[in-house]
Amino acid sequence: MAGVEDRVIAVTGAGGGLGREYALLLARSGAKVVVNDLGGARDGTGSGSGMADAVVAEIIGAGGQAVADYHSVATEEGGAGVVRTALEAFGRIDGVVSNAGILRDVAFHKMTHEQWDAVIQVHLNGTYHVVRAAWPHFREQGRGRVVVATSNTGLYGNFGQANYGAAKLGMVGLINTLAIEGRKYNILANAVAPQAATRMTEDIAPPELLAKLPAAHVAPIVGHLLTDECADSGTVVVVGGGLCTRVQLYESKGVTFAEVPTIEQVGERWAEITDMSGAVAAVNRVG
């Protein structure tokens, strides 16, 4: 099949913002879309079916195929429910876009365990729950595509978002391993760090900057990563305002100590250890 035509793809958090753009583009491109959205507020409170239903109605009205799903990805049962909806509606699952997210921003010294756990549960655990439920189907059919929504906060950090950043970089660690384990089964796993104007960013970035970052710019990158034509796996792409860049880990040439060094010896050679002038792309290694 070309592109995503006739592929069944579940998009979490697809009731608005980026997820909605992903769902609409995929449907226009011939995919059968599971539009998952709990229908809650930005902080994860509340629920409702209206957001997912509206996107499904928009897709069907344009001649596409879609079904709504209202499960919370924060639980194992919810993640399994998203995949079950795909199987019951369309008979298979070909791809997962893990986009659902919430914010509980607060400086680290003020962060509560509840604020930490709530964000980890939706972003990191939510990705695990849905992908884990889809994984056996991907292996059995010899094909699968996973795209997760990481963030510049995870890659570089951001004040007040320790919970969000930890979850988002954790998702990169997950796709790195999924890329290795999925390779022999034609399962690809990649990450996109979107820079876009959505309700998640409406009070985080200046309005003049957000005006230059329409969510529609991100969707084609996500779409490509779901196609048969895409061969990349374990790749992280930052997308926003028309600019698309790849982010990759690099490591310095480093220093080899013949014997266990003292703290002072490490200090003496610290500049060499951290010198990135001869850096090369990091490779997968155990540990």
Which residues form the catalytic set? 164
Which is it for the CA torsion 81, 84, 90, 93, positive or negative? positive
Which is it for the CA torsion 151, 154, 156, 162, positive or negative? positive
Return d(Cα 57, Cα 79) in angstroms, integer.
23
Q: For strands 8-11 and 95-98, give the pairing.
A: parallel
Burial class of residue 267 (count of CB atoms within 10 Å of its CB; 0-12, 13-18, 19+): exposed
Which residues neighbour 123 within 8 Å (Cβ) at sequence distance 6 or greater?
100, 101, 102, 164, 167, 168, 170, 171
Taking the CA atoms of residue 17, residue 18, residue 22 and residue 28 in that order, the dihedral angle to the nearest 10 degrees is 40
Q: Evaluate whether 187 touches 178 at the Cβ level (below 8 Å).
A: yes
Residue with token string 């993640």: 79
Which residues neighbour 17 within 8 Å (Cβ) at sequence distance 6 or greater?
196, 198, 199, 200, 215
